[in-house]
Structure 1
């Protein structure tokens, strides 16, 4: 069989280490291997090239993805999915490694139901919101980017006696916000999964400000849509001059951490081994309770990820 690798959806640090390991390990296993450039769009348009060691030399430390990624509206239409499959057939590609998130896996689930293709998904999203795995590729790097920003913002907040509201990524999942708030000692954390008791927080913060507290750090997940609201509340009610910092896409970039590089290696090895040893593919690699395994794609896309209750308790969001 020939193998191919593709990135789909939002980029995440760790994609390049995964791409390099794919080339190195497929070569070691004696398998012909290809890149699909620009994700699903590239599959539709036939942007497929044979991969070599020279393509991946010196990319371990780089963020982003050398083979690029995309989101594709065309892939929702059968005629374009058929065109994509015909392109794979030209190169005898029967095994595909997909670096992506929930949307990418849903697309591949449908694709594999319609055409004889085996794929293994590697959970790759800084939101860490894929069901069934404790860890998604890119999360550690993103958390370290946020941690660095929050540490620096706290420096200026304490110097000027200000409140800072820092918005981090996370449309429907507050994982980044929760872990970042814990790691930075933020006084406030706002996420989609839990209600923020503003009355209780108001009473406590007013007492602390009256007792000498000079600054406040609030971490808000973008999906809550409450960044401006919290900033207004801190300034008008708590009485601290307030600034807003939206970290945005810097969270997606940067040199992958050691953790993300090593996780990328293990995810890819498990994906390729499964494609080579089993016809029962169409799986997603997971990392759970310190071990790697594979789960059915149907289980992944039919369930919703939820943040561990212990994390929520640690940030005092629930009783």
Structure 2
């Protein structure tokens, strides 16, 4: 049974290990692997080609995705979804592994409702905002990139007695900010899920400054849109010289960690096994409490991810 793999949406470390495992495992099973290049746009444009061991040699350590990715406005239109299906049909492909996030899964759910296509999604986003799974491919690497940056920023913050405001990615989810703040010992953390208590934070910081604190590290999730508000507040209200660092897309790149490589391998094997068994379609591989499983796509896309309340509770030190 020929199967294809595709990346959709934002890139994340761990995509290449998943791509390599997909090819190696299908050859081991005696099946034929295909690549869909350039994501949803590539699916529409027929960028579908057989994959070999040569294509995936030496890619485990690389960030990004060798088959590239995209977002596609065209995919919202039925005629282009039909064209995408016809392109798969030319190669007798009826099963697709999709490395992506919530938007990618919604797109594939729509297509599979209209055409006889089975797919399994592997949650792949550094934002870690997919319902039903504790972690997504790429999150561990992104957290380690942030950790490395924060450790270096703290060095200069303490040397120059400054406040540093560091903006991290995550869209509307504050997971990266929460975990990074906890593990870096940040004094302030702002996330979309919790209202920031300006008064309590002011009293807490001024008390610590009176007792000798000479620098501040503030982590701000991009979804709050409050990065420069916090910088202005630290400079003019708290009275500390302040610098802003927006980490940006370095969080989406870099060599995947051991954890992300292992996660990629396990998720890909489970996705392929499920498609080859053909017992049912349109699933997403999930991890809950350390255990791998499958969830129906409609459960994933019709519910909203929420950060573990225990993690959010660890931010209450300023209260």
CA distance in 2, matches of 1:146, 1:98: 26
Shift of 1:315: 1.5
Is the CA contact 1:166–1:220 (under 8 Å) kept in the aligned structure 2? yes
Shift of 1:318: 9.5
Q: What's 1:283 paired with?
A: 283
How many residue pairs get aligned? The number is 319
Which residues in structure 2 correspond to 1:259-298 (within 5 Å)?
A: 259-298=259-298
Is the CA contact 2:130–2:300 (under 8 Å) kept in the aligned structure 1? yes
Q: What's 1:109 paired with?
A: 109
Q: What's 1:210 paired with?
A: 210
What is the TM-score with the length of structure 2 in the denominator? 0.99
Shift of 1:170: 1.4
Deviations 1:63-83 (A, max 9, x none): 000000000000000000000
1:220 counterpart SS class: strand
Q: What's 1:94 paired with?
A: 94
1:93 counterpart SS class: coil
Q: What's 1:13 paired with?
A: 13
Indicate how the Cα distance of structure 1 residues 318 and 33 shifts in structure 2: closer, same or farther if over 3 A, else same.
Answer: farther
CA distance in 2, matches of 1:300, 1:318: 34
Shift of 1:316: 1.2
CA distance in 2, matches of 1:47, 1:180: 38
What runs of 5+ residues in structure 1 fail to find an aligned partner?
none
1:128 counterpart SS class: coil
Shift of 1:59: 0.1
Q: What's 1:79 paired with?
A: 79
Is the CA contact 1:118–1:279 (under 8 Å) kept in the aligned structure 2? no
What is the TM-score with the length of structure 1 in the denominator? 0.99
Q: What's 1:23 paired with?
A: 23
2:316 counterpart SS class: coil
Q: What's 1:128 paired with?
A: 128
Which residues in structure 2 correspond to 1:26-45 (within 5 Å)?
A: 26-45=26-45
1:261 counterpart SS class: helix
Q: What's 1:47 paired with?
A: 47
CA distance in 1, matches of 2:204, 2:249: 33
CA distance in 2, matches of 1:204, 1:266: 45
Is the CA contact 1:194–1:318 (under 8 Å) kept in the aligned structure 2? no
Indicate how the Cα distance of structure 1 residues 207 and 125 shifts in structure 2: closer, same or farther if over 3 A, else same.
Answer: same
1:111 counterpart SS class: helix
Shift of 1:294: 0.5
CA distance in 2, matches of 1:318, 1:95: 50
Is the CA contact 1:195–1:317 (under 8 Å) kept in the aligned structure 2? no
Shift of 1:292: 0.5
Is the CA contact 2:5–2:96 (under 8 Å) kept in the aligned structure 1? yes
Is the CA contact 1:3–1:32 (under 8 Å) kept in the aligned structure 2? yes
Shift of 1:279: 3.2
What runs of 5+ residues in structure 2 fail to find an aligned partner?
none
2:249 counterpart SS class: helix
Shift of 1:317: 7.4
2:201 counterpart SS class: helix
Which residues in structure 2 correspond to 1:147-186 (within 5 Å)?
A: 147-186=147-186
Is the CA contact 2:128–2:170 (under 8 Å) kept in the aligned structure 1? no
Alignment RMSD: 0.9
Shift of 1:147: 0.1
Indicate how the Cα distance of structure 1 residues 78 and 60 shifts in structure 2: closer, same or farther if over 3 A, else same.
Answer: same
CA distance in 1, matches of 2:6, 2:215: 45
